[in-house]
Amino acid sequence: MKRVFSGIQPTGNLHIGNYIGAMRQFIELQQEMDCVYCVVDMHSITLPQDPQELKKSTLDVAALYLSVGLDPKKSIIFVQSTVPAHAELSWILTCNSHTGELFRMTQFKDKNKGDESAPAGLLTYPLLMAADILLYDTDIVPVGNDQKQHIELTRDIAQRINHRFPKAFVVPDYRGMKIGARIMALDDPTSKMSKSAQNPLSRITLLDEPTRSKAIMKATTDSEGTVRFDTEEKPGISNLLTIYSVFSGQEIKAIEHQYEGLGYGAFKKDLVDVVIEGVAPIRQRFDEIRHSQELIRILEDGTRRADAIAQKTLKRVKDVFGLGV
Ligand code: TYM
């Protein structure tokens, strides 16, 4: 059976971009593949975090995994820092990657902005991600479009090492959604929706409600006034149409038809309802599970199962490199 691995950082509130671009795939894939899903808390400390907030967010993301529909009987769900092999393999990969390829990562360039006092972890971040993936002999990595470059780097490093030591690693493939691989910010449809953007009206979070309808009603659109999908000319409306389509289950063409002759106001008003209805069951399950012992038990079980796989791969890789006695 094919192995799937993916992860989400417990930094800030998860938003509908995370759900549409990544989590929807997680749920789809768990039906037919051997899935491992991780809360990547060690990635979060590439930037300073409040320790208590980090612990809280880690459990929030784990609870959200279950709330959106992941089944611990089908998928392994665990927290990255509870499986030490991630950090160990990350070092081996660090010694087999080039500083140039790390400096070329667009996420690094965006976050670092040439600041020499930025944490070194920002630069080596994709290597910890590569370790996450390679440790589980992963075939498929379901992510949003913004992570594609990191998967390509993972492939390059795995192939480079395999060239020297054949079959050291399984080379993984990127998997993205056809619709919604990149959900854009509501206040600026030329940049992606992000957990860390300053303006809370730029995103729709999965958990807290107050800003949702305001964010949608104020979303940047264009002056044409027709609800039509055209990412080049109408990125704002196209983004809203994508969100509408995902939460309503309707085809984009059908939605365009439904709003023919009606203005953006009517469309946005309905979108508020569609989104609120779409995320309500997630919130409800989250409230049921977030403070339960069941959540802790599921994560402990996940750690045990993930660790067993990771230890096996790490031993194989250490042997390949001649590490240990
Ligand atoms: P993170 O935590 O930023 O995002 C989690 C997932 O959500 C996707 N995503 C989006 N998809 C569509 N539209 C958006 N606006 C949007 N914003 C985020 C991301 O692509 C991602 O799939 N480095 C990763 C976490 C990671 C990981 C891994 C992923 C660490 N190790 C191993 C896969 C495999 C990250 O920071 O994602």
- Check which CATH number belongs to the domain holding 158 and give it: 3.40.50.620
Q: Are residues 102 and 218 in the same domain?
A: no
Domain of 254, in residue numbers: 200-286
Residue 279 has pLDDT above 90, yes or no: yes
Answer yes or no: is the C-beta of 134 below 6 A from any ligand 1 atom: no
pLDDT-derived band at 208, boundaries 50, 70, 90: confident
Q: Are residues 80 and 34 in the same domain?
A: yes
Q: Are residues 305 and 167 in the same domain?
A: yes
Answer yes or no: is the C-beta of 41 below 6 A from any ligand 1 atom: no
Percentage of the chain beyond pLDDT 70 is 100
pTM: 0.97
- Provide the pLDDT for residue 20: 98
Q: Are residues 210 and 128 in the same domain?
A: no
Q: Would you state the structure tokens that stand for residue 126, as one six-digit string?
A: 């994709």
Q: Looking at residues 287-296, what average pLDDT do you find?
A: 98
Q: How far is the CA of 264 from the centre of ligand 1 (A)?
A: 30
Q: How far is the CA of 132 from the centre of ligand 1 (A)?
A: 13
Q: Looking at residues 187-193, what average pLDDT do you find?
A: 96
Amino acid letter, residue 294: E
Count of the separate structural domains present in the chain: 2
CATH number of the domain where residue 256 is located = 1.10.240.10
Q: What is the pLDDT of residues 105-126, one digit of tens each?
A: 999 998 888 888 889 999 999 9
Nearest Cα to Cα of residue 208 among 16, 66, 11 = 16
ipTM of the complex: 0.99
Angle at 70 between CA 65 and CA 76, to 5 degrees: 90
Q: Are residues 83 and 143 in the same domain?
A: yes
Q: Are residues 63 and 88 in the same domain?
A: yes
pLDDT-derived band at 322, boundaries 50, 70, 90: very high
Range list of β-strands (E), 55-201: 75-79, 140-142, 173-175
Decide: 317 and 162 in contact? Cβ < 8 Å: no
Q: How far is the CA of 7 from the centre of ligand 1 (A)?
A: 7
197-201's contacts with Cβ under 8 Å and 24+ in sequence apart are none
- Provide the pLDDT for residue 210: 74
Please give the mean pLDDT across all residues of the chain: 96
Q: Which DSSP letter does residue 39 get? A: E
